[in-house]
Amino acid sequence: MSHGIPILLGQNVLPWLVGVVVLGVFAIIVVVILINYFGIWIRAYMSNANISLLSLIGMSFRRVDSRIIVQGKIMAVQAGVGLEKLTGVTTRRLEAHFLAGGNVPNVIKAIIAAHRADIDLDFDRAAAIDLAGRDVLDAVQTSVYPKVIDCPDPKRSKRTTLSAIAKNGVELKVRARVTVRTNLEQLIGGATEETIIARVGEGIITAIGSSDSHLQVMKNPDRISTAVLKRGLDAQTAFDIVSIDIADIDVGQNIGARLQADQAEADMRVARAKAEERRALATAREQEMKAEVARNRAQVVLAEAEVPLAMANAFREGNLVVR
């Protein structure tokens, strides 16, 4: 009987120890979860962000930064754009955008800014713009507050002015400022600022080139901007042109007069060359005639030398009679 009591005690203690270990492991897991997720979950719960504790735990396994997702969802809810049925800002979509390499805070800020400005921008379009490599927040801000682009842009080109020539041959050096705002519908796949600058520069040069005199352009510079705006230069671009303003006009060289002078100089050189050609031909002809005269003289001398020979031959043959 004394040997059986320890065995019974050991059989009763083993399940108890296993239960203690399991409870201890469970308690450790609960403590770890509370330390890592309880604070951020409470923050999301108090902000009505609609993010469960299990979702936060699952984000860790999916290698998603839960703090960024929760912060974005809270920002959307507090700004009034967190209604999932209207704007599509769901936790799953935020996670998918994060895993795709997108900038979740930037997208949420852009949606909030668009909502404040009464611009139709949902999560899908904002995420697409962000994944396309465009700064969606800057695009929304530019749509609300138009930006000004210099034409030509000194940051992209060494030239500070556009050079155009009117019909009277006078050069005008022009510097323009283009006010644009973002066209969110064409932002994906639309041309960038470089295309706007190139098209505006081309339009200004064409407008000045079609003017009869540079004085007309300097007198009414708004004619240039009006003519350029009528051409619809913002087609298939990511921007809408608000206005084109001529900032500065300077008179350059009289290209027409210089070209006429150069043409006159070229014509004079051609005339000199032709005159020199004619003189050379005359000199050559003169030398040819002199050679012809010398040849004829030689033939005369040869003919005169044959006369005595003929007389001597006639005398020997008795054809020549001396009286």
CATH number assigned to the domain comprising residue 187: 3.30.479.30
Q: Are residues 214 and 232 in the same domain?
A: yes
Q: Are residues 41 and 116 in the same domain?
A: yes
pLDDT in tens, 273-284: 998 888 899 988
**Confidence band for 1, pLDDT divided at 50, 70 and 90:** very low
Q: Is residue 62 part of a domain?
A: yes
Q: How many CB atoms lie within 10 A of CB 121?
A: 23
Indicate the range of 33-42, 71-80, 196-205, 206-215 predicted with least confidence: 33-42
Q: Considering 224, 240, 257, which residue would you say is the last residue of a domain?
A: 257
**Confidence band for 117, pLDDT divided at 50, 70 and 90:** confident
The answer to whether 130 and 136 are in contact (CB under 8 A) is yes
pLDDT at position 96 over 80: yes
| Alpha carbon 194 to its chain's center | 4
Using alpha carbons, select from 247, 255, 256, 254 the residue that is nearest to residue 162. 247
Q: Are residues 137 and 190 in the same domain?
A: no
Q: Is residue 83 part of a domain?
A: yes
Q: Are residues 176 and 133 in the same domain?
A: no
Q: Report which of residues 131 and 36 the model is more confident about.
A: 131
Q: Considering 217, 232, 257, which residue would you say is the last residue of a domain?
A: 257
Q: Are residues 65 and 120 in the same domain?
A: yes
Q: Are residues 180 and 224 in the same domain?
A: yes
Q: Considering 118, 143, 168, which residue would you say is the last residue of a domain?
A: 143
Q: Are residues 128 and 177 in the same domain?
A: no
Q: Are residues 63 and 131 in the same domain?
A: yes
Q: Is residue 4 part of a domain?
A: no
Q: Are residues 169 and 84 in the same domain?
A: no
Q: Is residue 217 part of a domain?
A: yes
Q: What are phi and psi of 246, to 5 degrees?
A: -85, 110
174-188: average pLDDT: 85
Q: Are residues 29 and 108 in the same domain?
A: yes
Quote the CA–CA distance of 123 and 105 in Å, as a whole number: 12
Report percent pLDDT > 70 for the chain. Answer: 85
pLDDT at position 255 over 80: no
Mean pLDDT of the chain: 80
pLDDT at position 246 over 80: yes
Using alpha carbons, select from 204, 196, 198 the residue that is nearest to residue 235. 196
Using alpha carbons, select from 145, 142, 229 the residue that is nearest to residue 183. 142
Q: Is residue 55 part of a domain?
A: yes
Q: Are residues 85 and 27 in the same domain?
A: yes
* Number of domains observed in the structure of the chain: 2
Q: Is residue 73 part of a domain?
A: yes
Q: Are residues 124 and 152 in the same domain?
A: no
What is the residue range of 244's domain?
146-257
Rounded to two decimals, the pTM is 0.61
pLDDT at position 126 over 50: yes
Q: Is residue 274 part of a domain?
A: no
Q: What are phi and psi of 236, to 5 degrees?
A: 60, 30
Q: Is residue 176 part of a domain?
A: yes
Q: For position 8, what pLDDT does the model report?
A: 44
Q: For position 322, what pLDDT does the model report?
A: 58
